[in-house]
Amino acid sequence: MKYLKLLYKMKKTVAQIFVLIGLCQLSLFTKAQGDHDLWLKKVTPVSVNVVAAKKGAFVNVAIQELQQNWAGKANATVTLLVKPDVAVKDDGFKLTANSIQANNDMGILYGAYELLRRQQTGQLVNNGEIVNPSYQQRILNHWDNLDGSIERGYAGNSIFWKGDKNTTITDNDKKLWLEYARANASIGVNGSVLNNVNASPQILSADNLQRLKAIADVLRTYGIKSYLSVNFSSPVRLGGLKTSDPLDANVIEWWKTKTKEIYALVPDFGGFLVKANSEGQPGPQDFGRTHADGANMLADIVKPYNGLVMWRAFVYNPNDKDRAKQAYNEFLPLDGKFRDNVIVQVKNGPIDFQPREPFSPLFGAMKQTPLMAEVQVTQEYLGHSEQLVFLSSLWEEFLKADTYQEGKGSTVARTTDGSIYNQKNTAIAGVANVGLDSNWCGHPFAQANWYAFGRLAWNNNLTSEQIANEWLQQTFSSNISDKNNPLAVSEWQRNFLVPAKKIMLESHEAAVNYSMPLGLHHIFAGNHHYGPGPWYAPKNLRVDWTPPYYHQAAANGIGFNRTKSGTDAADQYHPALAATLNDVNTCPEVYLLWFHHVAWDYKMRNGKTLWDELCYKYDSGVKQVREFQKDWDALERYVDKNTFLEVQRKLKRQEKDAQVYKDGCLLYFQQYSKMPIPYELERPVYDLKYLLSMDMLDVNK
């Protein structure tokens, strides 16, 4: 543990140092029982001999992890070797059942976690198997505020910031940060943006930078780099300058001085994330400059420190006829104009983390600029931490979507991971769902989304089924009656693993069905985005923040016309794909109402009218959740009591929420369709008048 003391650089008494070491050892090796352990449940290890020719901070952690969690052959010898291999990239490694070889120490640690994961899940190790990461930078974006609140956070307050207590750093803080870092390292995450993209300029104050240093010193233990979101107007609001123009010499000098201050405290600081000229945030366009001007100014300043600038492409104007088009319109003309240490961060879809969206047309279209996909781990639009929705299915669909930009097979994954375009930097980001709740994420199954993001960031070819298998086995296999008895293991897999995995893999489609099927999108209740609100349209609210802007329901049909006869957003995609999307007869029906305004009596490919198909989709979503309830109840004897009851309670609420979605949307849209709900479907439970007056966030608790 000597390296921990060196990293902290704390002036402590001998007694205080031993207390700190004890807390760190508790976090590393003797995890408390319960959901707080995540997928890193404590195991009873068997004896293993770990041999490493070269010791270092990360190698030492790898040795300890192997010794504390070994589940392979007893008294085996495992060799750790840092030795270059041309087939091994970045933090990747070469694996056998008894050896890990990597180009650097961090690769050894990732290899240790992979070897342990294979043991716990029964996956075979092929001798000489190369395991490389898909992306160099695998980053969690925390939308945490300095006062401790979290924007779109559903699992308690921030683990990093505490308002007026930000200058006080406790051993409990460090213990929690260390546990967080270990969890991230175990799934390959290697970076954390510690604060909200809607950044306060005060994040760069001297006191808060001291807290940044304390956090970074702990996260570094597991190879996690720290990043900050910054407010573009910081030179004015924090520095007292008259302008934040990125081409102004005084502004440039201010950022140079502030950046030098940061790197003096945190030498391995990762860089800046910037949300600019979006949703009221300041940016270079305020001064007649481009996004490239703003990003390049910061990029030049962090380049001597090997820092990155991640510049978000989430922009839209209240006056634009189609919000979905603006990011493409603003950023495509700038392709090739960004510095090589700028990476443009693009949300998976062109609107905003909807239950289902087509991929953003920027993917593949920007061929000379590295793009990093941004997905949302926190469930802002998918039931917060109340509903069980396994997001890996959504992300897998997105990553495997074909852009056609370099021919068939030019998937989003391949256009962002360096497989197609020569990118100096590759990265992917996930908006974190972590908070101070005892189980980190607010819902036991929301932990699976944190896990899934890390695993897909490391290997974007994994399937959701593989990831669900891994997570379930690591999280719940401690409940197998006798792990050494093949019959007991087989019984657990048959009676728990298979039905639990079924719930997870069907949960995303179920949520789409009971909320926004067939390409409907952004028809949520206002502000909190929980529950239906297709009717929500306050007169004082900008129109692109209201659901009618998106569903456009009327007597002649429903849907947003993004074809050539509408906003022409479909033509932002490659011509081969645009032709498919523009034609109502070939457009995938899951995106039908995203790209087309369709008559209520339009015949779907299964022969039903559009109206009837909507009714059946909403009804099927409700029925799917009811099946989840029954399936979960049958798993009681395989799950600890607290977790079982918590998931049972949340599924009960989810079923009620699904019913509200179904009744609210169908009864509202029926006012326009004037068509009956098919007689064979269950009648609405709620009246529309009641639903118009209620708030689902409160009613169904």
Pairing of strands 191-193, 129-131: unpaired
Q: What is the dihedral of CA 27, 32, 34, 35, to 10 degrees?
A: -10
Looking at residue 261, what is its pLDDT? Answer: 98
Looking at residue 3, what is its pLDDT? Answer: 38
Query: Which residues are annotated as catalytic?
Result: 279, 352, 380
> Token pair for residue 526?
């206002």
CA gap 409, 140 in Å, rounded: 28
Looking at residue 19, what is its pLDDT? Answer: 31
CATH number of 139-462: 3.20.20.80
What is the SS3 string spanning 614-683?
A: HHHHHHHHHHHHHHHHHHHHCCHHHCCHHHHHHHHHHHHHHHHHHHHHHHHHHHHHHHHHCCCCCCCCCC
Looking at residue 7, what is its pLDDT? Answer: 38
Looking at residue 241, what is its pLDDT? Answer: 98
Pick from 297, 380, 369, 287: which is nearest to 332 by CA?
Answer: 369
Name 219's Cβ contacts closer than 8 Å, sequence gap at least 6. 177, 180, 181, 192, 225, 226
Asked whether 443 and 388 are in contact (CB, 8 A), the reply is yes
Out of 3.10.520.10, 3.40.220.10, 3.30.379.10, 3.40.30.10, the CATH code matching 37-131 is 3.30.379.10
Looking at residue 6, what is its pLDDT? Answer: 40
Q: CATH 3.90.1330.10: which residues of the chain? A: 517-560+597-699
Looking at residue 700, what is its pLDDT? Answer: 57
Q: CATH 3.30.379.10: which residues of the chain? A: 37-131
CA gap 380, 433 in Å, rounded: 10
Q: Which residues pair with 113 in a beta bridge?
A: none
Q: Which CATH class is domain 517-560+597-699?
A: alpha beta
Looking at residue 244, what is its pLDDT? Answer: 98
Pairing of strands 137-141, 427-431: parallel
Query: What are the distances in angstroms from CA 405 to CA 152, 433, 572, 575, 577?
Result: 34, 33, 11, 9, 9
Asked whether 56 and 492 are in contact (CB, 8 A), the reply is no
Mean pLDDT by 10 residues, the chain (701 residues): 39 34 36 70 92 94 97 96 96 97 98 97 94 98 98 98 95 98 98 98 98 98 98 98 98 98 98 96 97 98 98 88 96 98 98 98 98 98 98 98 98 98 96 97 98 98 98 92 88 96 98 98 95 95 95 98 98 98 98 98 98 98 98 96 97 98 98 98 97 81 56
Give 275-298 pLDDT, tens digit per residue. 999 999 999 999 999 999 999 999
Looking at residue 484, what is its pLDDT? Answer: 83
CA gap 466, 452 in Å, rounded: 10
Global pTM value = 0.94
CA gap 584, 266 in Å, rounded: 54
Sheet holding 99-102, edge to edge: 48-52, 76-82, 99-102, 93-96, 129-131
Looking at residue 479, what is its pLDDT? Answer: 84
Calculate ∠ Cα 452-136-88, nearest 5°.
100
CA gap 487, 508 in Å, rounded: 32
